[in-house]
Amino acid sequence: MQLPQIEDYPKGYPQFSSLISSHESFFVARRFLNVRARLLLLKQNRVVALESKLHKIDRDEERPLFLGSSQRDQNHDRAQVVAELDKALEDLDKFLLRSRQISELEQADPRAVTNLQNWVNGTGSIARAESRFLNYPPEELLSTSPRDESAMIGLENNVAENLLRVRDYFFPSYSPKVSRDSAHIYIPTRSSAAFISRALMTPIIVVMLLAPVILCSYLNNTSSRLFAVGGATVFFVAMISGGTRMKSQELIIAGATPYCFPLRIFGLARVKE
């Protein structure tokens, strides 16, 4: 059974939601950073106000016995403030955890945002006020889908663009399965782009690993070889740290690879000599 295309749905939100569901990168939303900051301040101020109120009740307590035993404390005002504090802190804690989860979500893919903008502007079936969130800066937009390392994303985007040009040149009448509107929207197919990108990335990594070995084979003295290996290691780590989002310990392990590999080879060569 063939799934309906986007244009088979009624115009407006039915088509818009069908478009968004067609690819995981289209699940784009605003972070509402300003609103979240405002709510955080208000919730925090609520806790501070209740804390001050509790301290005042404690200072004005006429029966010190109530302060020395919570079981014998019959001050209803204090009990009420403590209960309100518990609810206010619980609300603040939940908000902090939610905000942390939102902050950990990936930034929206610029290509996906551009696709959605092109579709909205091209069809005109969504109210401007309700599609305005797509015009916010990248740091304000998030994506619910996980993204690969940034180096692979950039390479995949370039490959996808070239595949699109090739498709338009050789198959100008091509119509994607998801949508017939190829003028305003491009539904990326990650399988082919990802396969080609990883195929291109493999020889690059191999060359980067073997470069210090090849270079050291032309050098005679140890200091020159160490300098070559050190330079290659710095370059390798810089490429990885700039192109991916690896943690520090992962960078240390990755950086040791181009350093140990040539040293081991030339160490064994010297032993045999």
Other CB atoms within 10 A of residue 188 CB: 22
Q: Tokens for 12, please give them.
A: 């407006």
Query: Which among 101, 109, 87 has a CA at the least distance from the CA of 27?
Result: 109
Q: How many residues are recorded in the chain?
A: 273
- Poorest-pLDDT segment among 64-78, 202-216, 259-273: 259-273
pLDDT in tens, 41-78: 999 999 999 999 988 887 776 666 655 566 666 777 77
Query: Which among 220, 209, 22, 19 has a CA at the least distance from the CA of 120?
Result: 19
pLDDT (mean) for 238-259 = 59
Instruction: Quote the radius of gyration of the chain (alpha carbons, Å).
Output: 30
Per-residue pLDDT at 117? 93
- Using an 8 Å Cβ cutoff, are 125 and 184 in contact? no
- Poorest-pLDDT segment among 85-89, 134-138, 183-187: 183-187
Other CB atoms within 10 A of residue 159 CB: 19
| Highest mean pLDDT: which range of 7-11, 57-61, 217-221 | 7-11
Per-residue pLDDT at 101? 93
Q: Check residue 12 and give left, alpha or beta (phi > 0: left; psi -120 to 50: alpha).
A: left
**Coarse DSSP helix, strand, coil percentages of the chain, rounded to the nearest 5 percent:** 70, 5, 25
Does residue 273 carry a pLDDT above 50? no
Per-residue pLDDT at 163? 59
pLDDT in tens, 68-107: 566 666 777 778 889 999 999 999 999 999 999 999 898 9
